[in-house]
């Protein structure tokens, strides 16, 4: 397993966020870092995404060299390459495309595609995905995750979409078989200070 993918699986939490306000983006990333989460998905969901990402990489790599900053919401190989050139540590998709898989393989970067069905999970793994994102998790549910892992026990699944920023919900997903949980709006609807508190508690409970 790629070291960065292993870091996501070991941390068990992958925060994901984007905002047009650069200062807020940086504050939220550092709020997660302070809680001990040193891997972060910046999402490609706004006009300022690439400019913000480039600036974040430039500024954060100096003071936080162990922070792994990846990019999410990537659909095309061209977009993947653009962010790889900007220093992305991993690429995440809401879908699964051969084009993006190929670009990531060539760059030797983790590629985490988005899937829903058993067939999609299998195809993503066949294309080289070491970790696969099941989305939307809250619609599919924990019983679905357990059922899918029956015939596909070798699948490393990360759940994203509607996961609550509480130790109870995160632990219930992990107990259902998830290797990691993506936390988005449920986490970032809070102040940076509260984000640090929530993540610190979640991390504590996970490793307890």
Query: Which pLDDT score, from 0 to 100, does residue 149 have?
Result: 98
Q: List Cβ neighbours of 128 (8 Å cut-off, separation of 6 or more).
A: 101, 105, 111
Average confidence (pLDDT) over 200-204 = 98
- Cβ atoms within 10 Å, residue 86: 17
- Summarize the confidence of residues 148-166 as an average pLDDT: 97
56 falls in which pLDDT band (50, 70, 90)? very high
Task: Please write the tens of the pLDDT for every residue from 88-126.
Answer: 999 999 999 999 999 999 999 999 999 999 999 999 999
146 catalytic? Reply is no
Q: Predicted confidence band at 180 (pLDDT cuts at 50, 70, 90)?
A: very high
Domains of the chain: 3-207 (3.20.20.70)
Closest C-alpha to 145, from 111, 179, 112, 191: 179
Do 155 and 185 form a contact (C-beta atoms < 8 A)? no
Annotated catalytic residue within 12, 57, 68, 133: 133
CA distance 68 to 38: 6
Rounded Cα distance, 208 and 202, in Å = 10
Q: How confident is the model at residue 52 (pLDDT cuts 50, 70, 90)?
A: very high
> pTM of the predicted model, to two decimals?
0.96
Q: Which residue has the tokens 């992990």?
A: 174
Task: Give residue 136's pLDDT band: very low, low, confident or very high (50, 70, 90).
Answer: very high
142 a catalytic residue: no
Catalytic residue among 12, 41, 68, 130: 41
| pLDDT digits 0-9 by tens, 14-25 | 999 999 999 999
The answer to whether residues 40 and 69 touch, using CB atoms and an 8 Å cutoff, is yes
Instruction: End-to-end CA distance of the chain: give it in Å, rounded.
Output: 25
């Amino acid at each position: 397993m790629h070291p960065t993918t292993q870091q996501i699986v070991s941390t068990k939490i992958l925060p994901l966020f984007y905002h047009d306000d650069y200062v807020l983006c940086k504050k939220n990333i550092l709020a997660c870092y302070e809680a001990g989460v040193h891997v972060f998905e910046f999402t490609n969901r706004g006009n300022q995404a690439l400019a913000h990402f480039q600036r974040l990489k430039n500024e954060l790599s100096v003071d936080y060299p162990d922070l792994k900053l990846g990019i999410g919401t990537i659909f095309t190989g061209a977009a993947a390459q653009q962010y790889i050139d900007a220093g992305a540590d991993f690429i995440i998709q809401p879908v699964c495309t051969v084009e993006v898989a190929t670009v990531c393989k060539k760059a030797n970067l983790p590629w985490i595609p988005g899937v829903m069905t058993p067939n999609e999970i299998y195809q993503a793994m066949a294309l080289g995905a070491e970790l696969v994102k099941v989305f939307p998790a809250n619609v599919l549910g924990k019983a679905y995750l357990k059922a899918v892992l029956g015939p596909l026990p070798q699948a490393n699944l990360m759940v994203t979409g509607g996961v609550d920023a509480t130790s109870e919900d995160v632990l219930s997903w992990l107990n259902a078989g998830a290797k990691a949980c993506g936390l988005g709006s449920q986490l970032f609807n809070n102040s940076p200070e509260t984000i640090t508190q929530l993540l610190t508690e979640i991390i504590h409970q996970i490793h307890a």
